[in-house]
Structure 1
Amino acid sequence: MKLLRVGQPGAERPAALDDEGRLRDLSGVVLDIDGTFLSGSGPHRVAAALAGGDLPVLDPEGLRIGPPLRPGKIVCIGLNYRDHAAESDLPVPAEPVVFMKAADTVIGPYDQVLVPRGSTKTDWEVELAVVIGHTARYLESHADALACVGGYAVSHDVSEREFQLERGGQWDKGKSCETFNPLGPWLVTADEVPDPQALGLRLWVNGEARQNGSAKDMIFGVAEIVRYLSQFMVLYPGDLINTGTPAGVALGQPEPKPYLRAGDVVELEVDGLGRQRQEIGAA
């Protein structure tokens, strides 16, 4: 299933795409798309309602597409592609590099991204997002880990490199600025993604291709990331994991590095998970 949330910020309602690509209103079936929905009977009720064909059809004209999930925590994996570690002039990590990102950074896939005040190094990162569907703690195998995945989505892990790398302390300062995690357009349930490592990821800035990678090149794959994280924290339904970005970010470009400025347009996509587009503004 391809699940969405539509409407104005803070007032989104659940929706889904049917087999013919029509937008169907789910507000009469489930309250929202979140951890409670994923861990309970919500997916089964939505599947049955879609099969019945009686759900109201929504007119997409002028309808805002919000983030497809109201997430719990956001856990991120850094330097998870060898080519990105190389362009960042950093060694390939022996274990996953883990940091947190504020959940309130999540916005819709077509919402405006704001360059923070004082920023000169706002950067782009297309990522495969993993959405947890069942509680994960101390998992023992990759099979157990994948059984806890509820779905996948396109994530834009926007980063401010000076805040992240030059201001001391934790990476979170360069990752948790307002609007720094466009998500969606869809949450695609795990049954429609048999091999997440086969997915391609691409990103353009002002129409110029900047990133073109594949999840098969991850240092740590989805199953290992979920298994590994479960040794250090409990992953709950609705939690989001950003799994890293391939090469091609502004940080890895020659000087003068082409960091984002107000007026730029970023487009990104992941195979089968949809496409995003954001205009860049100023905070």
Structure 2
Amino acid sequence: MADDHPADFEEIARRFSHLWQALNSHAHSPDIRKMLIDRVRDALDRGEARFGEADPAIIANSFVLEAMVHDGAATQVYRARHRDLGTLHAIKMPRPDHADDPVLRKLILREAEIGTALRHPHIAGTQTVLRLADGRPALIMEWLGNRLADLLQERPLTPREITDVMTSVLSGLKAIHAAGLVHCDLSPLNLLFDGDLPHLKIADFGIALKAGCRHEEFDLAFAGQPDFASPEQTAGGPLDGRSDLYAAGRLLALLLSHCSAERDEKLEALAIRLSQPNPQDRPENAEAALHLLGSPWKSGVVF
């Protein structure tokens, strides 16, 4: 069998040469040539299964699922490539065994509605929502390849990096709260970046609420990360932006525990102020917290 491989490659090369000549034939108009190239691309994508153990999944005839990056209890997230543009995207969808879960479906559609309405440099972009062949919604988002949670496991952060992270977080929260929303799930798992930490973005609006609402309105007894959820969120009470500020304080305390330098009393004081049990004792809003951080001028960011 091994002796046949060179001949196989020669035959593939010969046929590809003929195909390329046909595609570039002057007998074809530009529109027909474009259509032929698209059909060849389609055949290559669908024929890729012959070289692997499983068929490559293609969504809406446009997105090839390249890898699963999150496999949760109810949802899955994939890295996907647009077949024509070559761009990378994150696609979030219910697990197949949760295809008929009405609560989950409602939450994902709400997340799509919220995400497409928010546009900010420190909020992960939501691009559209698709319906899969089996009826499940699929949320298409910008691809950000790094999580803050993973970075914290790899190395300590400098005080400047911690300030950059908190500037990004509080800036994003300011925009979220200005839209009348509460994120409710701020944690290193949902803070993503693709490049430098100053470009970090808030992601995952799956349990976001309108200010003044409770999670029980969506048949959720509790939603959020226990280590970051505010006392009022844990108690199932109505929430406002100060609940996210509590989570930001818990986040800042975590970042300081991974700091490579000596204690920063100013940042420690801000972490304590943000994470006060009583909402009335926290800063009034994200803009006030940014002022206490004093970072817009240091980082060169204008709000």
Q: Which has the higher strand share?
A: 1
TM-score normalised by structure 2 residue count: 0.29
TM-score normalised by structure 1 residue count: 0.30
Q: Which has the higher helix share?
A: 2
